[in-house]
């Protein structure tokens, strides 16, 4: 199993541009999440999904959209990038809502200039 994969590894955007961060998992996990990691702030939940077709907002959802059309994929869209969205983004998956352990991808480092 590849586990949780994320692309790209690095990305530089100009303010106002849009892009999609890709996340995929091959473990048939129901539950998937997106976090952003900023120095001293830990990881903060952006959006999550408890299954295909079901998404919900986390702690810091503004400026981001998600969709979950398949169990495997959970892309994160930045609608109009801002410098405040400069961060490292992690996707994670969990077998189901009753499970506690989250499996994280390797991350995408995003810089918005």
Partner 1 sequence: QQQVKQSPQSLIVQKGGIPIINCAYENTAFDYFPWYQQFPGKGPALLIAIRPDVSEKKEGRFTISFNKSAKQFSLHIMDSQPGDSATYFCAASQRAAGNKLTFGGGTRVLVKP
Residues that bind partner 1 (CB under 8 A): 4, 31, 33, 40-45, 48, 50, 58, 90, 92, 94, 97-102, 104-107
Closer Cβ to partner 1, 18 or 56, answer by number? 56
Residue 48's nearest CA partner among 112, 109, 96 is: 96
Q: How far is the CB of 69 from partner 1 (least distance, A)?
A: 21
Secondary structure (3-state) at 6: strand
Phi, psi dihedral angles at 111 (to 5 degrees): -120, 130
Q: How far is the CB of 31 from partner 1 (least distance, A)?
A: 8
* Dist. CA 30–CA 1, nearest whole Å: 16
Secondary structure (3-state) at 84: helix
Closer Cβ to partner 1, 14 or 98, answer by number? 98
Q: How far is the CB of 16 from partner 1 (least distance, A)?
A: 29
């Amino acid at each position: 199993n590849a586990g949780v994969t994320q692309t790209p590894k690095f990305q530089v955007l100009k303010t106002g541009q849009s892009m999609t961060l890709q996340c995929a998992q091959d473990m048939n996990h129901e539950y998937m999440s997106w976090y952003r990691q900023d120095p001293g702030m830990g990881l903060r939940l952006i959006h999550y999904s408890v299954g295909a077709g079901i998404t919900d907002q986390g702690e810091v959802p503004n400026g981001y959209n998600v969709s979950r059309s398949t169990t495997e994929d959970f892309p994160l869209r930045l609608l109009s990038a801002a410098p405040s969205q400069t961060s490292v983004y992690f996707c994670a998956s969990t077998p189901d809502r009753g499970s506690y352990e989250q499996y994280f991808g390797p991350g995408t480092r995003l810089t918005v200039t």
